[in-house]
Structure 1
Amino acid sequence: MPGLVQPSLAENWLNSQGGSSGLIVKRTIRVDIPVDKYPNYNFVGRLLGPRGNSLKRVEANTECRVLIRGRGSIKDPAREEMMRGKPGYEHLNEPLHILIEAELPVEIVDARLMQAREILEDLLKPTDESQDFYKKQQLRELALLNGTLREEGSPMSGSLSPFQNSLGMKRAKTRG
C-alpha cells in the first residue's frame, strides 16, 4: 500500500510549497530599440501608451518591471542633457534600450522574461499608421481618458445640446 501514501505526500508537499521551490531570483534582460534603423519613429510613445498605461499593462500581465533607458529615454532633451553623467543616469550615454527585470520564483522567471520580451519586441516593429491597430487602440484609450471619445457613427459635433436631435437638426419650436 505504499503507492497510496506517495501521492498524498507529494500533494501535501506541492500545496505547502505552492508548486515552487521557494527560491526567488532576480534576472534582467536588455532589448535594444532600433532607433538607428527608424530615427523618426516614436518608440517611447508606442511603448508607454496613454499615461504609461500600455507599459503598465505589459508589467501587470508578465509580473516584470520594464524600464526605458538610454539616449532619448527622458522626454525633455534639455533635462536629459542636464542629467547626463550624474550618478544613476549613466545609461544616458548608451543607445535607447529597454531593461526587463523580474524577481520571481526560479521556475517561472525565464518564461515571464521571455513573455515580456516577445510583447515588447512586437511593439518595436514599426507599422504603417493605417494598419496600426495597436496605435488606434492607444488613441481610443487616450480619448477615453481625456473625455473626448466619439464612437463610430456619432455626430461630429462634440457638444450635446438639448436643442439638437439625433440627426443634428434643430428641434421644432413648440407653442406653449
Structure 2
Amino acid sequence: AKPTLRLYFKCENLQRIGAFKARGAFHAIERLKLEPGWREGGGAQRGVVTHSSGNHAQALALAARESSIPAHIVMPSVSRPNKVAATKGYGAIVYSSGSTSVEREAVANEVIAATGARLVPPYDHPDIMLGQGTMGLEFQDQARDLLPAGKKDLDAIVTPCGGGGMLSGVALSCEGTGIRVYGSEPEYEG
C-alpha cells in the first residue's frame, strides 16, 4: 500500500536574511517602538543589543537599520566571516566574544552598561517567539490551500529546535487547532 503521508515545507530560507530569525527580530523591534516613552526616553538613540553567531545577528541588524535604530551585535570570535560581514553590512556595530553563551552574555552586558542599549535575546523572549510564531500561522493558512478534499487542517508540524524560540512560537500559533507540534534536532554520531 502506498503511504498516505503528505509533507509540506515552509521555506524560511527565502526570508530576507535567509532564515526565519527575521520574523522574531522585526517583531521585537516593532514592539519596542510601541513601548510608551521608548523613543522619547532615548531608547531609539541607544539602540538594541544581542548575541548571536549569525542569523539572529543579521536579522536584528537589518530590523534595526529599517527603523533607524543602532544595533550592537556580540558575535563569537568563531563566527563565520560571511555572517560577520553580512551583519556589519546591515549597519551593526559588531563586538567579538568567546564562544560560550556565558562569554557572549558577558560582553552583551558590557555593551548595555556602556550604551544603554536594550537587549533583544536570540530566542528566549516573548516578542521573539511571537514573531517567529507568525510562520506557523502563515504555514497553516498556506497548507489549507494544498490539503486534499475533505481535510481542513494539518495533523502535525515538525520544526527544528535549537534555542526553542521558533518551536515555542509555532506551538502558540497552533494552540486550540488540534495540530500537534513536534520539535526535532539532528542526531550526530561523529
TM-score (norm 2): 0.27
Q: Identify the structure with bigger relative contact order (alpha carbons < 8 Å, sequence gap 6+).
A: 1
Bigger radius of gyration among the two: 1
TM-score, reference length from structure 1: 0.28
